[in-house]
Amino acid sequence: MNRMLAIFEREMRKFFRSPVLMIMSMMLPLVQLIILGNAYGGKIRGAKVAIVDYDHGPQAVKIREACDAVAVNIATFTTVNYTDELLARNDVRTGKIDGAIIIPAQYSRRVYAQDAPKLGLVVDNSDQFTSSSIESEIQSLVTALNAPVIEPRVITSIALQFVELYPYVSYMKFLLAGSVSLAMYISVMIGGGMLYIDDKARGVHEGYLVTPITKLELVMGLNLAGAVKAVLSGICLTVIGSLMAGLGTIFHPMQLLELLTLIVGTSIAFNGMMFLMMVRVDDPLVPRAMFGVLNTLLFFPSGAVYPVSAFPKWLQAIAVVDPFTYCIHGLKAILLKDGGFVSIQGDLLFLFTFGIGTLLIATPLFKRTL
């Protein structure tokens, strides 16, 4: 036990003496949170939409007024007058404008005659975000115009009423769980993977192996230190990220306890996984080469940036055995939903089982000799 603590002490002293690991493990997730959180979180504003009016009737004026209302209120787009549909289409194609509304001749007459009036909308669907935003705005505008001026006494159409359980979740808040898990992963990758192999290559482990320390003490000492480093990275990023994203979770003791339990479980799982992968590696280049591959292979299928249900089956299969998936699910359940321990018990069970399981496999593989 004391020997295990000696290994732990050595690792932690080095960790605190040289804060590079801590800074490096948080740098990428923080930058990701700031850049992606702000880049993807906002709504489209200021797109240019042409109005080609061949009608000039009262109903065409209503359309133009509705579009002007969008421009001055939500500001998804501003309107530009065009006289030629072909020119407008061409300008959408070349990117001068983002869309074009075509009001055909006889549009007003058809509205009044209830003779299947139609509006045209040309969008550049190579940019899904902009085109879907414009489509959505125009669709709601058309729906509003279709609504009868006087509500009928008996409503026959089906209405859907939305109930959003949680307050508005910005993309930065959505991304925070991924960033926290990424910070822990990087900490484990550098602190538990790269430094472990570097120490091996430098002969530090040779120094341990000539002492009476047992295999279990050595493995546990190294892993305990690796897990604690990851926990510290996870806590730091949770606090900083929550403040940046405007989440008050960290000020509630119960949620803080849930977060801490989940971070501990994730750190053990990540560390066990990394140790199992590195236990027989001697070349310092291997963990460096694996860093990017593992990051892509484990982080992206986990649901950190896109929902798992949208993935193909083979990618969903990776997500099932990926500890990132459970960490991110658990973090979202606490940070965004305040779901309590009940909502994360499955995640905790997987993470602790995975961590202990990988360590149990890795320990016999660890060589007590060179």
Partner 1 sequence: MTNTATNRAATQAGPVPAIAVENIVKRYGAFEAVKGVSFSVADGEIFGLLGPNGAGKSTLIRMMTTLVPITGGRAMVGGYNVADNPDAVRRIIGVIPQALTSDQDLTVEENLSIYAKLYGVGKVQREKNILEVLEAVDLVKWRGAQTKTLSGGMRRRLEIARGLVHDPKIFFLDEPTTGLDPVSRIAVWEMLDNLRKTRSLTMLITTHYMEEADKLCDRIAIVDHGKLVALGTPLELKQSVPGANVVEVHFDRETDKWKERLEGLEGVTSVQAESAGFYRVLTSSGSKTTMQLVELATKLGETLTSLSVQNTTLDDVFVHYTGRQLRDEQVKAFAFVMPERPGA
Cβ nearer to partner 1, comparing 14 with 48: 14
Distance CA 34, CA 85 (A): 41
Cβ nearer to partner 1, comparing 9 with 84: 9
Quickly tell me which residue has 């501990």 as its tokens. 264
Question: Which residue type, as a one-letter code, is found at position 55?
Answer: D
Interface positions with partner 1 (CB under 8 A): 2-3, 5-7, 9-10, 13-14, 17-18, 202-204, 206-213, 369-370
Q: Least distance to partner 1 from the beta carbon of 286, Å?
A: 20
Going by the DSSP 8-state scheme, the letter that residue 106 receives in this structure is T
Cβ 15 vs Cβ 21: under 8 Å: yes
Residue 7 in tokens:
């290994």
Cβ nearer to partner 1, comparing 5 with 121: 5
Cβ 180 vs Cβ 234: under 8 Å: yes
Paired with 101 in beta bridges are 51, 121
Cβ nearer to partner 1, comparing 101 with 228: 228
Residue 200 in tokens:
């091996």
* Measured torsion, CA atoms of residues 100, 101, 106, 108, in degrees rounded to the nearest 10: -160
Distance CA 182, CA 339 (A): 22
Q: Least distance to partner 1 from the beta carbon of 365, Å?
A: 16
User: 10 Å Cβ neighbour count for 200?
Assistant: 17
Q: Least distance to partner 1 from the beta carbon of 239, Å?
A: 26
Cβ nearer to partner 1, comparing 17 with 118: 17
Cβ nearer to partner 1, comparing 210 with 342: 210
Q: Least distance to partner 1 from the beta carbon of 223, Å?
A: 17
Q: Least distance to partner 1 from the beta carbon of 189, Å?
A: 20
Q: Least distance to partner 1 from the beta carbon of 207, Å?
A: 5
Contacts of 229 (CB under 8 A, 6+ apart): 11, 12, 15, 21, 22, 25, 187, 188, 191, 192
Cβ nearer to partner 1, comparing 20 with 317: 20
CA angle 189, 195, 197 (to 5 degrees): 95
Distance CA 346, CA 359 (A): 20
Cβ nearer to partner 1, comparing 109 with 202: 202
Q: Least distance to partner 1 from the beta carbon of 205, Å?
A: 9
Q: Least distance to partner 1 from the beta carbon of 219, Å?
A: 14
CA angle 300, 350, 174 (to 5 degrees): 40
Length, in residues, of the chain: 370
